[in-house]
Amino acid sequence: MCGRLSQYRGIHDFVAALSIPNALLNYAGDQPFERYNAAPTTQLALFHRDGEYLRADMVRWGWRPHWAKDRAAPINARVEKVAHGPFFKVIWPHRAIIAIDNWFEWVYEGGPKKQPYLIRHRDQTPILCAAIGQYPIGEHEPGEHDGFVIITADSAGGMVDIHDRRPVTLSSVLAREWLDPATPKERAEQLILLQGEPTEVFEWFRVDKAVGNVKNKTKELIEPLVDA
């Protein structure tokens, strides 16, 4: 998965997609986010459980443990290793959902620059990506070391032609189970290893190469490219 995505709807659209009846602790605001070209280090709305409540916070995309100061903060974690590797050990229990509208990948099709593609649900509903992180909860206020990573898996079907890795995305039912603190760690691992959404629920199409510049942030970036 390449490091670019969109999160442009408002928090209540994403809450509706999760269908969690619990009261919401909303620290992300009520206005549409309008992030059409979000890059790593961007503050994004992240959902997690805080006791009996669903909570939304603005959290930086990217995280690393305090002892790994000599490397850049990863933005993704491989599903094959995340539950057992030492790097993410401290945040593996801290499960979250990053709800997005789409993500982008780049494919070499000839010429000097790769061609960007936008990937979204065929029905254009929000995409619920499995994530883990360090974030505000209970008495833990926002801190400089907060951040999250998106869990990724091997691509399959036609999507593998776009990129060999993709986010692990979950149905609303499984996203609620992933977030539930009562879900055992072993069950959580099985969810992301075996029960992510299939390729068939997605569609993808070419978009303007302007999305390659993080300074470009307009809605036009998510429009299908019209061939000359």
Catalytic residues: 2, 105
Separation CA 55–CA 82 (nearest Å): 23
Q: 180 vs 46, 135, 223, 224, CA distance in Å?
A: 15, 16, 36, 37
Would you state the structure tokens that stand for residue 142, as one six-digit string? 């926002």
Q: How many CB atoms lie within 10 A of CB 204?
A: 21
CA dihedral 36, 48, 198, 208 (to 10 degrees): 10
Separation CA 142–CA 132 (nearest Å): 16
